[in-house]
Amino acid sequence: MLKKLKYFIKRKKFEHRRKKFAPYTKGIIYNTENGIIAMSHEDMMIGKSLGRKGSWNSKEIDSLRKIVQPDDIIYFVGTHVGTLLIPIATHCKKVIGYEANPETFWFLKKNVVFNDLENVELFNLAVGDSKKKMCFIQNRMNTGGSKVKPIINDFRYKFDNPEEIEVDMIALDSHTKEFDLPAASGIVMDIEGAEYFALQGMKNTLESARFLYMEYVPHHLKNVSNIKNTELIDLVVPYFTIAVSQATGKEFGLTENRTDFISFLDYLDQNDKSDDFLFKKN
């Protein structure tokens, strides 16, 4: 009940914010630590942080800059408007980005131009287990929360009356082969619970990658993919030997005994806590 009240209040704030802008407003441009970022004026999550703090996810940027090398080819699966992609693109050889949401993708392309980046290749595609059409929900208050339509449609995903659209999905391995894209040195993935499906379609890409940086949100895993923690990790273990929690800094071995890591994920699940994980090889 308290959670629903919280989201009701958020929606009222969202409606109030929308009224502040003229009806033909497309977005806002922010000059931030992440770079010059344009995005929807309706966004009250990332947009609010960019406007008031001048940054978004600075800790995540710092973590990635420590592991990304100048000659790396970095794949971003779920770019949003580029708040992470843009600062990382200045530290590596090439970035290849995938974003399913056409509205977000429009801003992303502009942001690459605003920041004078010439080493970025972008695709307006969802990444999953195969080539097909998928139903996708476009959230407005938190545009970064837009996602493949969940199997279980939790109230948290629909309180701002998101629009449902159809998007094109591809399997990463097949797509990289078709377009003769270079092998990945690292993968950064944040696709709001659809990671399970994407991992199934990128086995060759994972084989070549030195690291995988992936968001973990328990309710996304349960509602969007409808799977358990063990099912997700089964797709990661063949390619990486160590998992590092970005929230705690704790390292977990994945080869001989992954019980501790699964227990940690279960703890996050039970307490409805999120984390980012760096998966790497010895």
Q: What would the two tokens of residue 90 be?
A: 């200045």
The domains of the chain are located at 2-241
- 8 pLDDT higher than 60: no
Q: Give the model's confidence band at 161: pLDDT under 50 very low, under 70 low, under 90 confident, else very high.
A: confident
Q: How far apart are CA 97 and CA 123, in angstroms?
A: 6
**What is the pLDDT at residue 224?**
85
Give the model confidence (pLDDT) of 173-230 as tens digits. 999 999 999 999 999 999 988 999 999 999 999 999 999 999 999 998 888 888 999 9
- 277 pLDDT higher than 90: yes
- 21 pLDDT higher than 80: no
**What is the pLDDT at residue 6?**
59
Give the model confidence (pLDDT) of 42-90 as tens digits. 888 899 999 999 999 999 999 999 999 999 999 999 999 999 999 999 9
Q: Give the model's confidence band at 12: pLDDT under 50 very low, under 70 low, under 90 confident, else very high.
A: low
What percent of the chain clears pLDDT 70, i.e. is strictly above it?
91
Q: Give the model's confidence band at 11: pLDDT under 50 very low, under 70 low, under 90 confident, else very high.
A: low
CA angle (30, 34, 39) in 5-degree steps: 40
Nearest to 265 by CA among 248, 240, 280: 248
| CB-based burial, 215-254: b 16+ in 10 Å, e otherwise | bbbbbbbbbbbebebeebbebbbebbebbbbbeeeeebeb
Q: How far apart are CA 74 and CA 102, in angstroms?
A: 22
Average pLDDT over the chain, rounded to an integer: 91
**What is the pLDDT at residue 1?**
56
What letter would DSSP give residue 221?
A: I
* Superfamily (CATH) of domain 2-241: Vaccinia Virus protein VP39 (3.40.50.150)
